[in-house]
């Protein structure tokens, strides 16, 4: 029966992914919801469901219209189920409510509590994190997440929760005590001191990922809890159809810089999943990491011998190959995530390196309304317009950038100087000497030797500026 459920869940997942690619959010939610209901412990199903629900509401942070009224019945149902300790009903009702407002902190906390009781620990952590994000000032949510993290051995993350509680309530004695206790426990656990009778017995624990986990005796088989890698390999052998363990193992290899093994593990996961697009994208990311690593090694070899023409050509070829592959990957993601402005911006930057100005402009203009990127996009657009000999449009973009309150030398020093320098050059070209001087002065106030700014300012002040000089 479990195998049949997994098969059906995987099929629903596939249909949901196809619907998501077409931005058919309602159908995708239904499909991912069915996958989650069939395999409620699967974190990836739950994460993707929540992501699609957020996209449905355009990330408005409030969900459906009049969500509060629509959720009154759901909250009553959850309250009754909690009294009866019917955690399955709480889990299902909370999930149904989150389809109305995926950011609802209380519903996420209810889901976290239910999943914790049902021993879906990873999902519980995910839900409590959403609850805390929705209401970071809640001592209740932070405490619940801290307790769960402590149970899982994530002591440092638990400390962060208690620190937030102490900030909310400086008189919370439990929070202060927990911060000290868990800080010490973390040191003991990471050092392997807990089970040691003498200092000679101290051993490295399994989940200290800052250093490679290895057994104490060469050739010995790692027992449970000694090596995260071995534990995950055992979990895979126990259930070869569960892609979660493959993904965790691949992430472990990635952190350890063992990219080849990470790629092999993801390839197996892709086959097990039946071609899941999300896993395919993880494989693409690993492939790009491998190419970047090869390029870094080639550059290192070229630096050791500046006169080696073969090494220099190898660097150029690898850099071009990486750029081509990045463009291909980003183009496919723009097609899949047509509303993701960050992906469009990253693709535009690569196309600019290929001097594909028109294509870059189209992508940048579609990302221009993203408040996170508006300064970067405006400056990139100005570069494209200058290359296209449309200096008036370039000037307009730079003006928007320098007038943006987010563009300060403190927060974005490089962009700040680039924008004022570009605008100063354009003003100088148009004979607007006073405006050009103002922009150059903005730069010199924070970096006196930036490019040729000082020389240009001195020429303008001496009346020797050359308005017709090319950009």
Q: What is the mean pLDDT of the chain?
A: 85
Contact indicator for 112, 127 with CB cutoff of 8 Å: yes
Conformation bin of residue 58: beta by default, left when phi > 0, alpha when psi is -120 to 50 = left
How far is residue 95's CA from residue 79's CA, in Å, rounded to a whole number? 14
Contact indicator for 100, 123 with CB cutoff of 8 Å: no
Contact indicator for 97, 104 with CB cutoff of 8 Å: yes
Contact indicator for 21, 336 with CB cutoff of 8 Å: yes
Give the residue carrying structure tokens 């994208």: 281
Task: State the DSSP code for 223.
Answer: P
Query: Could you tell me the domains of the chain?
Result: 2-181 (1.25.40.10), 227-329 (1.25.40), 408-471 (no CATH)
> Which regions of the chain are under pLDDT 70?
1, 183-226, 464-471
Answer whether 0.85 is exceeded by the pTM: no
How far is residue 354's CA from residue 341's CA, in Å, rounded to a whole number? 20
How far is residue 239's CA from residue 421's CA, in Å, rounded to a whole number? 60
Helices assigned H by DSSP within 61-172: 67-70, 72-83, 87-98, 105-117, 121-134, 139-151, 155-168
Give the residue carrying structure tokens 């050092």: 191
Q: Tens digit of pLDDT for each residue in 96-143?
A: 999 999 999 999 999 999 999 999 988 999 999 999 999 998 999 999
pLDDT reported for residue 206? 32
Q: Tell which residue, 391, 394, 387, 348, has the closest CA to residue 370.
A: 348
């Amino acid at each position: 029966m479990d195998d049949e459920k997994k098969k059906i869940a995987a099929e629903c997942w596939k249909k949901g992914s196809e619907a998501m690619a077409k931005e058919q959010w309602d159908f995708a939610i239904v499909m991912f919801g069915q996958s989650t209901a069939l395999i409620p412990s699967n974190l990836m199903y739950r994460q993707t469901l929540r992501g699609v629900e957020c996209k449905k509401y355009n990330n408005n942070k409030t969900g459906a219209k009049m969500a509060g009224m629509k959720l009154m019945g759901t909250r009553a149902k959850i309250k009754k189920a909690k009294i009866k300790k019917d955690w399955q009903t709480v889990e299902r009702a909370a999930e149904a409510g989150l389809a109305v407002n995926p950011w609802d902190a209380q519903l996420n906390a209810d889901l976290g509590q239910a999943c914790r009781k049902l021993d879906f620990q990873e999902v519980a952590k995910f839900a409590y994190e959403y609850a805390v994000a929705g209401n970071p000032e809640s001592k209740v949510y932070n405490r619940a997440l801290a307790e769960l993290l402590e149970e899982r051995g994530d002591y440092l993350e638990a400390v962060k929760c208690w620190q937030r509680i102490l900030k909310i309530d400086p008189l919370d004695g439990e929070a202060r005590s927990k911060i000290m206790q868990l800080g010490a426990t973390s040191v003991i656990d990471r050092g392997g001191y807990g089970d040691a009778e003498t200092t000679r017995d101290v051993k490295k624990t399994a989940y200290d990922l800052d250093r490679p986990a290895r057994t104490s005796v060469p050739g010995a088989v790692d027992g449970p809890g000694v090596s995260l890698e071995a534990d995950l390999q055992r979990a895979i052998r126990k259930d070869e159809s569960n892609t979660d363990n493959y993904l965790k193992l691949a992430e472990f290899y990635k952190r350890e810089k063992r990219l080849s093994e990470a790629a092999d593990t993801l390839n197996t996961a892709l086959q097990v999943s039946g071609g899941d697009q999300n896993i395919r994208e993880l494989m693409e990311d690993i492939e790009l990491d491998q190419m970047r690593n090869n390029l870094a090694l080639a550059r290192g070899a070229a630096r050791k011998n500046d006169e080696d023409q073969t090494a220099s050509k190898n660097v150029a070829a690898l850099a071009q190959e990486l750029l081509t592959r990045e463009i291909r990957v980003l183009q496919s993601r723009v097609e899949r995530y047509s509303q993701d402005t960050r992906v469009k911006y990253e693709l535009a930057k690569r196309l600019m390196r290929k001097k594909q100005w028109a294509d870059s402009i189209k992508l940048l203009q579609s990302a221009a309304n993203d408040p996170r990127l508006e300064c970067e996009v405006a400056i990139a657009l100005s570069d494209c317009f200058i290359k296209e000999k449309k200096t008036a449009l370039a000037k307009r973009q730079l003006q928007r950038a320098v007038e943006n309150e987010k563009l300060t030398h403190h927060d974005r020093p490089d962009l700040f100087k680039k924008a004022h320098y570009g605008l100063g050059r354009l003003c100088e070209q148009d004979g607007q000497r006073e405006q050009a001087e103002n922009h150059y002065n903005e730069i010199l106030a924070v970096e006196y030797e930036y490019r040729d700014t000082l020389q240009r300012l001195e020429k303008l002040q001496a009346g020797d500026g050359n308005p017709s000089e090319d950009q």
